[in-house]
């Protein structure tokens, strides 16, 4: 890849992924229940080798993978991304035994992972989390709750971030690997605008021991931030995929639909809106690719680049999808229409994995630092 374009092999791979998402994964997604983990879909991602690619790909390939899947099947993209989000703490900080036990199951699509950081009082301010890890012999007991956890309560294991040292802020948090069948762990589903599997978790003195720790005690916040920093540019890629799908649908619609004596595309106000949609989508894509390429190269300033990519791409996707709905008219509001689906999907990425306002704060701190 140059600074401005993908090479032929990358373009071919993206086209193959789009087709695969639409033809093979789309029907599995349609057969699933909104708000629930779609295990046949996760299994298919494993059988097709996409989950293995998730863990072996660099940041740029991860972005190409997520954008291409999002274009053809947002549910498949989300299922793949959530496997990565829930498992990457295990990849970066797990022991050899932890990785050998769980990663093959995740890659094969047989085990579902979840990333349990957010709480009702600690969303954007993740360091304020209050789930307590209270000492109990040689281990701890987890007491409290988590909220807005993707794949909860259906996951097979959770990467759980809990406070092991009171009053220590980000320095007093430990990451734990908690199986779903651990005594005292229960959960419930949340009915969200986006059709994602999201729920809450309740911890009633859930036992964990040293063998469940990911990394080191009191240093789990860095595990969480490293995971989010890796996935932020690719959240932008997810958004770009949705924006491109909305843009292409709009180009097709405005080319065919007639009004006032000719196709909509001949109306300057329509053509200019489509041009703006296309320009912003391409700018978002380039910003995402630049952040991913910098991450792969180990360049400095990754936090700022990742935040910029996530910020701009998710805000752009919201604009593009909203404009696409407007240009399609009432048909785009019908349940089951592509744009009705994208309209519900596109809102959440501006909040999760660091809201737009958090990204601006990160960028400002980097600029003034």
Q: CATH number for the domain including 146?
A: 2.40.110.10
Nearest one of 366, 250, 219 to 319, comparing CA atoms:
250
**Average pLDDT for runs of 10 along the chain of length 369:** 78 96 96 94 97 92 96 97 95 95 97 95 79 94 96 97 91 96 97 90 98 95 88 92 98 95 95 98 96 90 91 98 98 96 95 92 94
pLDDT at res. 118? 93
Strands 258-259 and 262-263: antiparallel
Which residue among the candidates 134, 353, 357, 366 is catalytic per the annotation?
Answer: 353
Rounded CA separation 221/321 (Å): 34
Regarding whether 228 and 144 lie in a shared domain, the answer is no
Regarding whether 352 and 237 lie in a shared domain, the answer is yes
| Domain annotation covers residue 1 | no
Residue 153, preceding bond cis, omega within 30 degrees? yes
Regarding whether 83 and 151 lie in a shared domain, the answer is no
| Domain annotation covers residue 3 | no
Regarding whether 226 and 355 lie in a shared domain, the answer is yes
Regarding whether 247 and 180 lie in a shared domain, the answer is no
Question: For position 76, which CATH number holds?
Answer: 1.10.540.10
Per the annotation, the verdict on 353 as an active-site residue is yes
pLDDT at res. 2? 56
| Domain annotation covers residue 255 | yes
- Prediction pTM value: 0.94
Angle at 120 between CA 114 and CA 121, to 5 degrees: 120
| Domain annotation covers residue 2 | no
Rounded CA separation 36/198 (Å): 8
pLDDT in tens, 312-343: 999 999 999 999 999 999 999 999 999 999 99
Q: Is residue 150 within 8 Å of 85, Cβ to Cβ?
A: yes
**Domain count across the chain:** 3
Nearest one of 285, 281, 283, 262 to 273, comparing CA atoms:
281
Q: Identify the domain boundary among 74, 107, 140.
A: 107
The residue written with tokens 């309560």 in the block is 153
Regarding whether 76 and 131 lie in a shared domain, the answer is no
**Residue 336, phi-psi category: left (phi > 0), alpha (psi -120 to 50), beta (remainder):** left
Q: What is the DSSP string of 319-359?
A: HHHHHHHHHHGGGGGSTT-HHHHHHHHHSGGGTTTS-HHHH
pLDDT at res. 3? 59
Regarding whether 240 and 212 lie in a shared domain, the answer is no
Which DSSP symbol is given to 170? G
Regarding whether 346 and 267 lie in a shared domain, the answer is yes
pLDDT at res. 353? 86
Question: DSSP H helical segments within the chain, as ranges?
Answer: 8-20, 26-31, 39-47, 50-56, 59-72, 74-93, 96-107, 220-256, 268-297, 302-328, 338-346, 356-368
Q: Identify the domain boundary among 90, 107, 124.
A: 107
| Domain annotation covers residue 71 | yes
Regarding whether 88 and 193 lie in a shared domain, the answer is no
pLDDT at res. 220? 95
pLDDT at res. 16? 97
Q: Identify the domain boundary among 185, 218, 251.
A: 218
Structural domain for 282, as ranges: 222-368
Question: For position 260, which CATH number holds?
Answer: 1.20.140.10
Regarding whether 349 and 241 lie in a shared domain, the answer is yes
| Domain annotation covers residue 309 | yes
């Amino acid at each position: 890849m140059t600074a401005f374009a993908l090479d032929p092999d990358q373009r071919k791979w993206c086209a193959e992924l789009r087709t695969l998402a639409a033809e093979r994964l789309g029907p599995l997604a349609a057969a699933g229940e909104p708000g629930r983990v779609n295990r046949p879909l996760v299994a298919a991602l494993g059988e097709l080798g996409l989950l293995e690619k998730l863990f072996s790909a660099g940041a740029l390939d991860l972005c190409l993978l997520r954008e291409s899947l999002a274009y053809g099947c947002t549910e498949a993209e989300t299922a793949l991304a959530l496997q990565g989000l829930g498992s990457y703490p295990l990849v970066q900080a797990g022991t050899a035994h932890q990785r050998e036990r769980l990663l093959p199951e995740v890659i094969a699509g047989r085990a579902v992972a979840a990333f349990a950081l957010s709480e009702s009082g600690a969303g954007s301010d993740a360091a304020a989390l209050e789930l307590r890890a209270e000492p109990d012999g040689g281990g701890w007991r987890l007491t409290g709750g988590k909220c807005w956890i993707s794949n909860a309560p259906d996951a097979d294991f959770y990467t759980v971030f809990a406070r092991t040292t009171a009053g220590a802020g980000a320095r007093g948090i430990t990451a734990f690997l908690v199986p779903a069948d651990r005594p005292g762990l229960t959960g419930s589903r949340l009915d969200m605008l986006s059709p994602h599997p999201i729920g809450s978790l309740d911890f009633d003195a859930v036992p964990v021991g040293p063998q469940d720790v990911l990394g080191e005690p009191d240093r789990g916040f860095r595990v969480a931030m490293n995971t989010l920093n890796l996935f932020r540019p690719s959240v932008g890629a997810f958004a770009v995929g949705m924006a491109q799908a909305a843009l292409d649908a709009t180009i097709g619609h405005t080319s065919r639909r007639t009004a006032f004596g000719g196709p909509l595309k001949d109306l300057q106000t329509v053509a200019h809106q489509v041009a703006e949609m296309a320009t912003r989508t391409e700018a978002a894509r380039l910003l995402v690719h630049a952040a991913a390429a910098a991450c792969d190269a180990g360049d400095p300033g990754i936090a700022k680049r990742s935040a910029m990519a996530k910020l701009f791409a998710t805000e752009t996707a919201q604009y593009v999808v909203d404009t696409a709905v407007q240009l399609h008219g009432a048909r785009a509001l019908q349940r089951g229409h592509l744009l009705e689906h994208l309209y519900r999907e596109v809102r959440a990425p501006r909040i999760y994995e660091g809201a737009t306002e958090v990204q601006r704060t990160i960028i400002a701190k980097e600029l003034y630092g």
